[in-house]
């Protein structure tokens, strides 16, 4: 059985690990049995001598242990699960070489660009005192990414054609922005896409994502 190392959204002050949420969603989509090992961000990840550092030396989640094969970095884990457990023609299957390349393109964009954009806004908001010029620049850069994704979703149900690990990676991270008072209402394609994701049972079981959506709705930032 696969073991997933996660941060519990119910007890974590930051709402859990969205990167680990990607993996729990993928595992459920694939119908795989797995064990979740919940960790405390401050006491079980941050200390340099924490036992978890022997699993992931970076001290972050997710990490998986698949019968002794240990892997970390959410994009790598998503690709591993799709390559090894998604049957051809079924959910999360990668498809032909061109479709696979497109999925990898958006998966890489999320990891290299969008996640950094979200963190840029997050850390600018945490500054004490807040530098409004820095915050405005971070929000402008992040909304540029939202506009790009919204354009990609024009006329599409999902990011790279069929539902894929690219949707899982991007959906979990875009949801975080709803906790930073960034409205998604101008991006009708993104809002429709997030609603479609939130209607899938695998997403509904992931508390970190569903809490983000709830916060966005309550603040009037998403439909």
One domain, residues 204 and 101 = yes
- Say if residues 167 and 146 touch (Cβ distance below 8 Å): no
Give the count of domains, the chain.
2
One domain, residues 45 and 119 = no
| 18, part of any domain | yes
| 116, part of any domain | yes
Give the separation between CA 217 and CA 195, rounded to whole angstroms: 11
Query: Per residue of the chain (223 residues), what is the pLDDT tens digit?
Result: 999 999 988 889 889 999 999 999 999 999 999 999 999 999 999 999 999 999 999 999 999 999 999 999 999 999 999 999 998 777 898 889 999 999 999 999 999 999 999 999 999 999 999 999 999 999 999 999 999 999 999 999 999 999 999 999 999 999 988 988 899 999 999 999 999 999 999 999 999 999 999 999 999 999 8
One domain, residues 197 and 111 = yes
Q: Which residue among 85, 111, 143 closes a domain? A: 85
One domain, residues 21 and 106 = no
Strand order in the sheet with 63-66: 34-39, 2-7, 63-66, 69-72
Q: Which residue among 85, 117, 145 closes a domain? A: 85
Q: Which residue among 56, 85, 114 closes a domain? A: 85
One domain, residues 50 and 14 = yes
Q: What residues make up the domain containing 114?
A: 97-218
Q: Give the orientation angle of helix 18-29 with respect to helix 74-85, to 10 degrees.
A: 10
Give the separation between CA 131 and CA 165, rounded to whole angstroms: 36
One domain, residues 60 and 147 = no
What is the pLDDT at residue 213? 95
With 0-12 / 13-18 / 19 or more C-beta atoms within 10 angstroms meaning exposed / middle / buried, residue 112 is exposed
Q: Give Cβ neighbours of residue 166 (< 8 Å, ≥ 6 apart).
A: 102, 103, 106, 107, 110, 158, 159, 160
| 91, part of any domain | no
β partners of residue 202 = none
């Amino acid at each position: 059985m696969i073991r997933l190392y996660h941060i519990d959204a119910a007890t974590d002050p930051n709402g859990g690990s969205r990167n680990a949420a990607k993996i729990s969603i993928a595992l459920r989509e694939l119908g795989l049995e797995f064990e979740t090992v919940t960790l405390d961000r401050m006491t079980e990840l941050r200390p340099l001598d924490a036992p978890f550092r022997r699993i992931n030396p970076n001290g972050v989640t997710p990490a998986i242990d698949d019968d002794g094969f240990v892997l970390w970095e959410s994009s790598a884990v998503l690709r591993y699960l799709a390559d090894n457990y998604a049957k051809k023609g079924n959910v999360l299957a990668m498809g032909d070489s061109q479709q696979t390349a497109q999925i990898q393109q958006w998966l890489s964009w999320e990891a290299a660009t969008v996640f950094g954009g979200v963190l840029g806004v997050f850390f600018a908001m945490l500054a004490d005192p807040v530098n409004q010029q820095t915050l405005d620049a971070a929000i402008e850069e992040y909304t540029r990414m939202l506009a790009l994704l919204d354009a990609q979703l024009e006329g599409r149900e999902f990011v790279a054609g069929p539902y894929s690990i690219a949707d899982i990676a991007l959906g979990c991270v875009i949801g975080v922005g709803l906790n930073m008072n960034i409205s998604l209402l101008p991006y009708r394609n993104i809002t429709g896409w997030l609603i479609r994701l939130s209607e899938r049972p695998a997403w509904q079981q992931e508390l970190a994502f569903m809490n983000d959506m709830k916060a966005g709705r309550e603040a009037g930032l998403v439909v």
